[in-house]
Amino acid sequence: MSTPRDDRARLEREERWRQLMRAAQDGDNAAYAALLSEILPVLRRFVAYRWPSAPDVEDIVQEVLLSVHTVRHTYDPARPFMPWLMTIAMRRTIDAARRRTARNANETTVDIMPETFSGDDAKNEQEISDDQEAIRRALAQLPDGQRQAVELMKVKGLSLLEASAVTGKSVASLKVSVHRGLKTMREVLKRETQ
Amino acid sequence: MNSEELIRRLAASAKPVRRLPHPMWRAMMWFMLSLAYAAGLVSVIGLRGDFSVRIAEPRFLIELSAAILTSMMAAAAAFCSTCPGRPLWERLAPFPFLLVWLASLGEGCWRDWTLHGYQGLAIQQEFSCFWKIVATSAAPLVLILVMVRRGAPIAPYLTTGLATLAAASLVAAGMLLFHQQESSVMVLVWQFGSVLVLSGLAALFGRHVLYWRTVDKRSLENQTTPHC
């Protein structure tokens, strides 16, 4: 049960926030920073109370802060500040809960993540050797200029400037050669896998 | 980024904002513009043949007034619903007038039934009525949606439904002036029904029409955060 002193403190806080918001709307950045800092613990409590099992309270609080920021022009200083703030906080908390429910409906939780095969560590030696052989074959099919550009920049790891110094070609020309070379290799590898 | 850092960036990038005018003022602005559009529409198409007879009937006047007031109140309710912290009862403002409109049509149906029996309640297919309401309400609907998008999307489905109700009922009121319907049941089904169906359908797309604008974190870093 609230005492008269609590009520007075609440009214004073309400009036202060109203003034701060009015000043913030007029472009007073210090007032705006003070207001957002003062409402931050209130928002944390609100979100934690409304959604006790929320896994990401701080994310939702930040979403509320961003929403307050984008719609701060909708606040009418003639009206109380707290209902305005709490409506936004409630709306964004419900949105976050809804999003999470939708995401959970489409996700399956697993204890052990399935192995991926994109990295060489996850492959056996035979597979690595097969891959390398296929790349070597695709590289061999490229015209000389493109093969040299791909070898220097993608196999040996030279920069464009370094490759330009080695080949005597311009940077632009090397870029085009690498792009075309990789495209051709991709098509060759695709054909082989089919 | 932690919340304290976010606050620092938001405060640093905040620019003065133009406060949204009072919802009633915005509703009035929309209503006057849309009324001018509806009046233009009626003047282009021309008044219905029996207008001089119908305008003398109290029931017709009630029907017309109820449709116009529904439109006006729905617009006000739509604008109120985009202002956080406003009382919830404001969103119900158009419904008494909608009920009066329905009651006047119901009374008309009753009278037709007592005069002509089942013949008076015969419904003919007139889908053109629905499409006419869709086509003619497009302009006021686009206008009100553009205007409500300046507010906060705290009730997107309701706001979109109310905005459509405002536009469609204004056009339906206009149609009462230029489109001659044989019986009240036809007006009930093809005009009042179209207004309700359109509002309901539009409400379903509320979340696509009204949504929270995202703040670009990069713009925060560059201190140029946009606002609505």
Pick from B8, B12, B85: CB nearest A84: B85
Calculate the CA dihedral of residues B62, B65, B70, B72 and round it to 10 degrees.
-160
Find tokens 């697993």 and name the residue: A110
Helices vs strands, H then E, count in chain B: 11, 0
Q: Is the pLDDT of residue A193 over 90?
A: no
pLDDT at A24 over 50: yes
Kindly list the residues from chain B whose CB atom is less than 8 angstroms away from the CB atom of residue A58.
2-3
A151 inside 8 A of chain B by CB: no
Number of A/B CB contacts below 8 angstroms equals 101
Nearest by Cα to B20 from A97, A18, A72, A170: A72
SS3 content of chain A, % helix, strand, coil (to 5): 75, 0, 25
B10 touches chain A (CB under 8 A): yes
Q: What percent of chain B has pLDDT over 70?
A: 94
Q: Which residue of B has its CA nearest to A70?
A: B227
Question: What pLDDT digit, counting tens, does each position of A109-144 carry?
Answer: 666 666 555 555 555 656 656 677 888 888 888 888
Asked if B87 reaches chain A (Cβ–Cβ under 8 Å), the answer is no
Cross-chain Cβ contact A71/B16 below 8 Å: no
**For a pLDDT cut of 70, what percent of chain A falls above it?**
87
What is the C-alpha separation between B215 and B227, in angstroms, rounded?
9
Phi, psi of B182 (to 5 degrees): -70, -45
Lowest mean pLDDT among A180-194, B115-129, B195-209: B115-129
Residue identified by tokens 């008494």 is B96
pLDDT in tens, B97-106: 999 999 999 9
Amino acid at B175: M
Mean pLDDT across chain A, nearest whole number? 84
Of residues A110 and A50, more confidence is placed in A50
Whether B67 contacts B73, CB under 8 Å:
no
Chain A hits for B150, CB-CB cut-off 8 Å, are: 73
Task: Render the burial of B135-167: b for 16+ CB within 10 Å, e for the rest.
Answer: ebbebbbebbbebbbbbbbbbbbbbbbbbbbbb
- The CATH T-level fold of domain A4-105 is Rna Polymerase Sigma Factor; Chain: A (1.10.1740)
- Whether B160 and B206 have beta carbons less than 8 Å apart is answered as yes
The answer to whether the Cβ–Cβ distance between B17 and A87 falls below 8 Å is no
The answer to whether B215 contacts A69, with C-beta atoms less than 8 Å apart, is yes
Give the range among A76-90, A97-111, A168-182, B114-128 with minimum mean pLDDT: A97-111
Provide the CATH number for the domain formed by A125-193 in this structure. Answer: 1.10.10.10
Which of A40, A80, A91 shows the shortest C-beta gap to B7?
A40
CB contact under 8 A, B16 and A95: no
Cβ atoms of A33 and B11 closer than 8 Å:
yes
Within 10 angstroms of residue B45's Cβ, the number of other Cβ atoms is 15
Best B2, B8, B17 residue to mutate vs chain A (most A CBs within 10 Å) = B17
B115's CB contacts (< 8 A; 6+ apart) are none
Both tokens assigned to A190: 């695709």
Residue B225 clears pLDDT 50, i.e. is over it: no
In the predicted model, is pLDDT for residue B37 greater than 90? yes
Q: pLDDT per residue over B39-67, tens digit each?
A: 999 899 888 888 888 888 888 899 999 99
Q: Which residue has the higher pLDDT, B116 or A194?
A: B116
Out of B6, B12, B151, closest to residue A65 by CB:
B6
| C-beta atoms of B85 and A61 within 8 A | no
Chain A environment of B151 (Cβ under 8 Å): 71, 74
Residue-level length of chain A? 194
pLDDT value for B226: 47
Q: Provide the shortest C-alpha distance from residue A37 to chain B (in Å).
A: 7
The Cα A51–Cα A57 span in angstroms is 8
Structure tokens at B179: 């489109």
| Span(s) in chain A for CATH 1.10.10.10 | 125-193
Residue B38, classed as helix, strand or coil, is: helix
Unique residue bearing structure tokens 């007031």: B69
Using the Cβ of B213 and the Cβ atoms of chain A, whether some distance falls under 8 Å is answered with: yes
Are A65 and B10 an interchain contact pair (Cβ–Cβ within 8 Å)? yes
Q: How far apart are CA A166 and CA A176, in angstroms?
A: 16
- Does B152 sit within 8 Å of A69, measured CB to CB? no
* Candidate from B39-43, B178-182, B216-220 with smallest mean pLDDT: B216-220
Q: Is B151 on the interface with A (CB under 8 A)?
A: yes
Q: What whole-number distance in Å separates Cα of residue A23 and Cα of residue B124?
A: 61
Name the packing angle between helices A160-167 and A171-193 (round to 10°).
100
Contacts 24+ apart (CB under 8 A), B94-99: B94/B69, B94/B70, B94/B162, B94/B165, B94/B166, B97/B66, B97/B69, B97/B70, B97/B73, B98/B66, B98/B70, B98/B165, B98/B169
Q: Which residues of B touch A72 (CB under 8 A)?
A: 14, 17, 227
Subunit contact B6:A58, Cβ cutoff 8 A: no
User: Closest to A74 (Cβ–Cβ): which among B1, B10, B152?
Assistant: B152
Q: In Å, how far is B91's CA from the nearest CA of chain A?
A: 15
In chain A, residues with a C-beta closer than 8 Å to the C-beta of B10 are: 32, 36, 65-66, 69
Domain residue limits, chain B: 51-211
Whether A91 contacts chain B with CB within 8 A: yes
Give the pLDDT of residue B227: 47
- Taking the Cβ of residue B158 and every Cβ of chain A, the question of whether any pair is shorter than 8 Å is answered with no
Q: What's the CA gap between B203 and B141, in Å, rounded?
A: 13
The answer to whether A104 faces chain B, any CB pair under 8 Å, is no
